[in-house]
Structure 1
């Protein structure tokens, strides 16, 4: 039995082949490519009551009212200004495009493979007997959810609109906020089977052209069956695939994308995904939030410092506890040491094993809470923390101080705004705990030095990951550990190498400079 070719290979056989102008021939092609597909709609009619024609589309992907009113009706009932005239077949495309159709997005196509791709994308295609080109009309209409507040990025003060799965809607949300002629959007098609549309957005005159070239170089060789989410692209374009730290930021917020574009970064959106990617990315982006810039700088600087403390808690607190309990108990005040020793009296495991068991249990509980339905997940988290934790202490599997340490660590990881950065810190806790159990405080220092060296060597599209801390830049320091006043953030990040480095100018200075030019001082 002869093996049937895959759809992609079948379509490849018609690549570059011109339309013959025969409806019967095209029907044969569609039957071969879509054999067994019952949702392909073929509507036969006569253009202006004279010329045989056929309309091809997937019925569930088109807006049927637009097809009926804007396409079929003007083609079957000849318009008044065309009555009494006869047209040769080769004249029909011009007449239909310029004098008959009531639709704004219409194009011509002469290649078989491009016509098939247009049908697959949701367009309506009209072929006329004896005419060697097709009329492609954009009638795609896919049901989509409404624009809502992003579930992954809660905001207290700021816009509450989030991206959805439809690319056109997402691009409209960006254009709505960034009404500039400098905004450039380049479209790509990635995926042999899904033919997913990918939009690359950047600001002309701000974004570094070398970063754009590097992004094109990394996306060009991507050859995959399908891109179902922007996360697929992230794994292909990141610098270091073995690093636990994310080198590409993702977000559901249009306002965050616009802010990054105006700094000189590049945004990547995928049709079908509500998460947009931002490159290049540095580490300090993962503990910043929208409120950092919509609230007053002194308050948000304090909150940002609290986030950094929580970030360090989530990384080193359990390993620090293990090292002190196992190797350096003399560092603990005497009264507290007696309380800790009393709590651990009935625990049969060493501190490192106890902490590892509790950490693994917490990770399992966290994953179960995420995967369960929302109505059940909240109840499970409360039961897990209260009942299971108390039962573990009562049964002698864990000491009360260990439960407190793990609880503080978990809360600290929740305070990190970016989920992927928090996940990296959660994973790095385990090797640090093991090294603390083996070598004590020396093990923690060795582990932190290895992490620091890795961060120093890491880059995102050629930009050092710890910028602007390393290499140091005073202007960038104003938005690193604390957030300086908006009026002091006059420059775009130097590490992005923006073509226009000035972000903010004081109007009075510009006016004074203008007056100085109008009235120059005598030399």
Structure 2
């Protein structure tokens, strides 16, 4: 499978700019064993910070030591109880014994500290990076290694319902900013030994932790390798959100269509992992990325699979109609009004002509003005505080729209067309896909105003051609429609019964292809008597 196609390789080896010239100059320096040299080095780099805590003490009342940590990033109780106190008092079973300095390192790790995440480190630059991450560092006179103890505790918001995705039927849990909590939510929903979570750091200054999650035995190993390759090539100062990574790893960054899906729902991530996809989580971001992504994922929701297939197939069809409305409705209106009014029924044409009487602009200009006004109103509603935003949307739609019609700037039919188009864009579940369709409306409207229905068809052909050329990590964007796959089409336009979808998507090339067994709950029920139905023998006895 051509996972590397569309991803540019560079044979040039460029040296990344150092985030800190001082730290880079001492990248390979080791601890000398002289405590004062270590203190001078750390103070030179971090001493100007008001929240840096430096605590001198004696290990077992005998060996000089120093402790470093940022006070706002650690759990003070853990530092005092599990680290400082055990280091100051010798363990009872070692009292009276003469400990040599060579033995001290092993005694500290194995007999003294009440903490499971502690290690020894000899590089000075690693000590500084540990302090910056929220760890506690303890250096001791005469030992050429220092203790790095994981004590980071950052205040975080509670797990709540996803803000960007409405939940109708399903779990109400959403990801938060802490990577550890998000991984815990995944493991809670997927307690499988096949779940693999790899880690890397991206960002020269932020050194943000990135987790790559996949299912061993299901996910194609070549896909995992390609994801790691693309992420490893990212060279940037800071990764503040998963959106930074999305822009680097997508195949075509000039396309308006998203080639990476994001979500803050753990159940959605688990469902994608079980299909053979890879999830990417970033520390500090509540939105996880899913790759590879195909177009049909953007109009599907989790509720499609938790409800019965007949109802959800009808809802999905309505969603698809709304999607088409949001793309082509205004351009069709402009082309018919401007070039082909004979296509309008006579009675309706009279009503349209009466509504447009007195409007000083051509249809294309009128639609563009209303469309731009609607986009400005939508953006203003999003950016304003929630209490004010709701009032603005009502005022903008009712008052401004009615005033524009009354003043003769717009016809009533145009306002209705734009309103239906806007509602259609709201019905698309994925915000980034809806945004792409909203942007493509404008060139379609211009082509409709210039060439009529021919312009609309040319525009749609160009969009279709672009979609056919797109790939996401080597997977055709319109899969399973193009290339056609009968098994995948059972979950394309309508949502078939779960018993029909026995295999995982073939375009992902999963290692384990079977998802549903031969006997499902519905099939197991067929041919068996209900527990509440009297048997034939009992009926005969009653007779």
TM-score, normalization by structure 1: 0.95
CA offset digits 1:368-403 (Å, max 9, x no partner): 000000111011000000001001111111000000
Aligned equivalents of 2:143, 2:119: Cα separation in 1? 15
Structure 1 residue 506 displacement after superposition: 2.8
1:388 to 397, 400, 407: 400
1:311 to 323, 343, 365: 323
For the aligned residue pairs, the C-alpha RMSD in angstroms reads 1.3
2:89 to 69, 77, 84: 77
Q: For structure 1, which segment, 194-203 or 14-23, has the greater mean C-alpha deviation from structure 2 after superposition?
A: 14-23
Task: Tell me what 1:33 maps to.
Answer: 45
Aligned equivalents of 2:395, 2:441: Cα separation in 1? 25
Structure 1 residue 90 displacement after superposition: 2.1
Cα 1:508–1:122 shift into 2, 3 Å: closer
Task: Tell me what 2:448 maps to.
Answer: 436
1:215 to 227, 232, 239: 227
Task: Tell me what 1:170 maps to.
Answer: 182
2:65 to 50, 53, 56: 53
Task: Tell me what 1:181 maps to.
Answer: 193
Q: Does the 8 A contact of 2:448 with 2:455 survive in 1?
A: yes
1:265 to 269, 274, 277: 277
2:288 to 258, 268, 276: 276
Aligned equivalents of 2:20, 2:215: Cα separation in 1? 35
Task: Tell me what 1:516 maps to.
Answer: none
CA offset digits 1:119-160 (Å, max 9, x no partner): 111111111001000111110000000000001000110001
Task: Tell me what 2:529 maps to.
Answer: none
Confirm or deny that 1:131 pairs with 2:137.
no
Aligned equivalents of 2:380, 2:164: Cα separation in 1? 17
Task: Tell me what 1:421 maps to.
Answer: 433
2:375 to 346, 354, 363: 363
Aligned equivalents of 1:314, 1:491: Cα separation in 2? 33
Confirm or deny that 1:327 pairs with 2:339.
yes
2:513 to 491, 501, 507: 501
Structure 1 residue 106 displacement after superposition: 1.0
Structure 1 residue 82 displacement after superposition: 1.9
Structure 1 residue 504 displacement after superposition: 1.1
Matched position secondary structure for 2:193: coil
CA offset digits 1:30-54 (Å, max 9, x no partner): 1221242121111110000000001
Structure 1 residue 22 displacement after superposition: 1.6
Aligned equivalents of 1:217, 1:144: Cα separation in 2? 32
Aligned equivalents of 2:492, 2:21: Cα separation in 1? 51
Matched position secondary structure for 1:488: coil
Structure 1 residue 508 displacement after superposition: 8.2
Matched position secondary structure for 2:53: strand
Aligned equivalents of 2:34, 2:219: Cα separation in 1? 49
For these two proteins, the number of residue pairs brought into alignment is 506
Cα 1:6–1:38 shift into 2, 3 Å: farther
Q: Does the 8 A contact of 1:491 with 1:504 survive in 2?
A: yes
Q: For structure 1, which segment, 96-105 or 458-467, has the greater mean C-alpha deviation from structure 2 after superposition?
A: 96-105
Mark the runs of 5 or more structure 2 residues left unpaired by the alignment: 1-16, 525-543
Task: Tell me what 1:203 maps to.
Answer: 215
Aligned equivalents of 2:311, 2:320: Cα separation in 1? 15
Aligned equivalents of 2:95, 2:365: Cα separation in 1? 89
Cα 1:508–1:178 shift into 2, 3 Å: closer
Q: Does the 8 A contact of 1:93 with 1:135 survive in 2?
A: no
Q: Does the 8 A contact of 2:19 with 2:204 survive in 1?
A: no
CA offset digits 1:434-491 (Å, max 9, x no partner): 0000000000000000000000000000000000000000000011000010111110
Aligned equivalents of 2:110, 2:518: Cα separation in 1? 51
Task: Tell me what 2:527 maps to.
Answer: none
Q: For structure 1, which segment, 277-286 or 117-126, has the greater mean C-alpha deviation from structure 2 after superposition?
A: 117-126
* Matching of residues 97-136 of structure 1 within 5 Å: 97-136=109-148
Cα 1:80–1:507 shift into 2, 3 Å: farther
Matched position secondary structure for 1:451: helix
Task: Tell me what 1:521 maps to.
Answer: none
Task: Tell me what 2:531 maps to.
Answer: none
Mark the runs of 5 or more structure 1 residues left unpaired by the alignment: 513-523
Aligned equivalents of 2:450, 2:502: Cα separation in 1? 49
Q: Does the 8 A contact of 1:21 with 1:133 survive in 2?
A: yes
Structure 1 residue 86 displacement after superposition: 2.3
Aligned equivalents of 2:388, 2:34: Cα separation in 1? 60
Structure 1 residue 6 displacement after superposition: 7.5
